[in-house]
Structure 1
């Protein structure tokens, strides 16, 4: 195998596939990146067996030559060393040549590296996916859906299914739900779908985080292909495979209260900053708990009290407070995460009592919902 390639394009592809490579693997070859050169261009593959990423660099793009393939072939190179070498090479182009016994030479200007490669035949094959169940979604919308839900997945392995985001497709609408059993994030969006039956899958939060880092913030259409145990996201010159989580995702619709006893409308940014300040003295305490009380005159009091440190009290003027008087305690972190995910200046919070879950929505956007369980403080 022998080819010459533009260094910046190679770096970009290496960075993409590196997101799937881990040093903590029981399969030694997976610590490497697989490079395959043929007449069409160069394909790089990285995998940790949960996530697999394939990045393709065509021979030419917009009438500019990117790769010149002199001899087809494939090799697996240690991802960490190969990545470091490519980033530090002196010239704009790189020549890579594979000799006998998988010895690989990397040249750029007057710099020359020799790396021991591995047999590409030993590298696990990517799953073959029949492209029947296809959903089409713009990249920037997919990134938003991930950002607004993935933070609420569980970090505990005691219930593995909760470490993923549930994606439900029904009637050209995609619903993403994440919960760790203390909070829930939900976002809906219209999509183009070829699915005839309602479908739902649970994708690991870790996979979605990595996918989000790779996707460009544009409206290029991403194709999402679902099978029994894999999901494939197809972008231009990029394939991203992830395994799906097995098990039954809890029925979260029952968690969302249908009525409320106290309704508050407040400016999201002011409310977020007040909770952030109150949490400064709550951090040391148990669970970072902040207390909210409704006062006469449409005022919300945000406070926290940690006896060994001190206390903080702040009043925020609400735009509207309706219903019963309320005192409630909650995790500052959970509410701050929820407020950051909601895209809106004004938010509505529906409370159903001091010990019941409360719901935060953006006033101008009913496609998003954040639900949080309060904390008992006595």
Structure 2
């Protein structure tokens, strides 16, 4: 293999694909990136067996070929090169890189040992409008679990309804539901890795793509997202997703409207104290205010009172401070509607004008 490529282009592609690479894998090949030449392109790929990612980078190809080399080492070397052209060439299972006055070599593994990458073949694609993802994905990603021992909760569920599509995520402590327009061909109950969806979203932004092609392979239980110069493939997560509709309250005893920016400042300040006390902060809701407080035996106490318009009986409730911060940082409007039914029932947050988004945070039981 011999190809010439711009340093900035190779560096950018490696910054994306190396996110899948784990340093703790028991299979050495999974620590490697696959480099293979195609007509006018260098294809850069990684996989962790659950998800794979490929990036096509424009290159001048003199000799075709393929090799795998340690992904993070290659990424570090390329990032350190000057912004010039890089000449890549192979000699057996060694990769040689020349950039300006620098010359490096890396020992690799035969490309034939790299796990097979998915092919879309003749499958029909589902076209995802990137703007639809813009208006939905950031609001539900915050609720997807990071706990790999509960794989279903690490995914985003697409639930087809009569007049719309729901995008749902929950980690058992919070729930996000976003209504989207119907997407033709999208199957009921499809659960796709939240991390993979986030990667697709970032790639779509990078490519300034308007549409993303989604291929569903039932026989291989795989979802493949294809952009012009990138592809992400991930296993469809199987199992019975939690019946999330049951935890959405149908009524409330308290409804309060507050300013998002005021609450962000109050939560940020209370979080300084909350992190010393199991990350818990309290809301005290009255007719015209909400007081946000947190205390720690080691450092003291903080209280901030913000304006609010409240209907109903008011009361006190406690939440995880990080969960509130995550929500407020992506919340789509300046005014937040908060609804509650006492201190042990879920707290409901939604925009005042947009009825298509709902976020629930389970309260924390506290003493006294």
- When the two structures are superposed, what TM-score results if normalisation uses the length of structure 1? 0.88
Q: Which moved more, 1:125-134 or 1:244-253?
A: 125-134
Q: How large is the RMSD of aligned CA atoms in angstroms?
A: 2.3
Q: Identify which of 301, 326, 347 aligns with 1:311.
A: 301
1:366 matched to 2:355: yes
**1:148-297 residue pairs with structure 2 within 5 A?**
148-170=139-161, 173-190=164-181, 192-195=183-186, 198-216=187-205, 218=208, 220-228=210-218, 229-285=221-277, 287-296=278-287
User: Residues 265 and 349 of structure 1 are in contact (CA less than 8 Å); yes or no, is this contact kept in structure 2?
Assistant: yes
For 2:105 and 2:14, the matched residues in 1 are separated by: 18
Q: Identify which of 68, 72, 80 aligns with 1:76.
A: 68
Size of the alignment, in residue pairs? 364
For 2:76 and 2:299, the matched residues in 1 are separated by: 46
For 1:96 and 1:294, the matched residues in 2 are separated by: 63
- When the two structures are superposed, what TM-score results if normalisation uses the length of structure 2? 0.90
**Partner of residue 3, structure 2:** 3
1:324 matched to 2:313: yes
Query: Secondary structure at 2:249's aligned position in 1?
Result: coil
User: Residues 286 and 310 of structure 2 are in contact (CA less than 8 Å); yes or no, is this contact kept in structure 1?
Assistant: no
Q: Any unmatched runs of 5+ in structure 2?
A: none
**Partner of residue 145, structure 1:** 136
User: Residues 19 and 210 of structure 1 are in contact (CA less than 8 Å); yes or no, is this contact kept in structure 2?
Assistant: no
Superposed CA deviations along residues 301-350 of structure 1, whole A, max 9, x for unmatched, are 222343453222332111x2111232222222222222222110011111
Change (3 A) 1:92 1:346: same
Superposed CA deviations along residues 95-138 of structure 1, whole A, max 9, x for unmatched, are 11222x32332222332223223211221111234564633234
User: Residues 347 and 360 of structure 1 are in contact (CA less than 8 Å); yes or no, is this contact kept in structure 2?
Assistant: yes
User: Residues 38 and 71 of structure 1 are in contact (CA less than 8 Å); yes or no, is this contact kept in structure 2?
Assistant: no
Q: Any unmatched runs of 5+ in structure 1?
A: 59-66
User: Residues 87 and 97 of structure 2 are in contact (CA less than 8 Å); yes or no, is this contact kept in structure 1?
Assistant: yes
User: Residues 87 and 98 of structure 2 are in contact (CA less than 8 Å); yes or no, is this contact kept in structure 1?
Assistant: yes
**Partner of residue 62, structure 1:** none
For 2:107 and 2:16, the matched residues in 1 are separated by: 22
Change (3 A) 1:172 1:80: farther
For 2:112 and 2:314, the matched residues in 1 are separated by: 69
**Partner of residue 19, structure 1:** 19
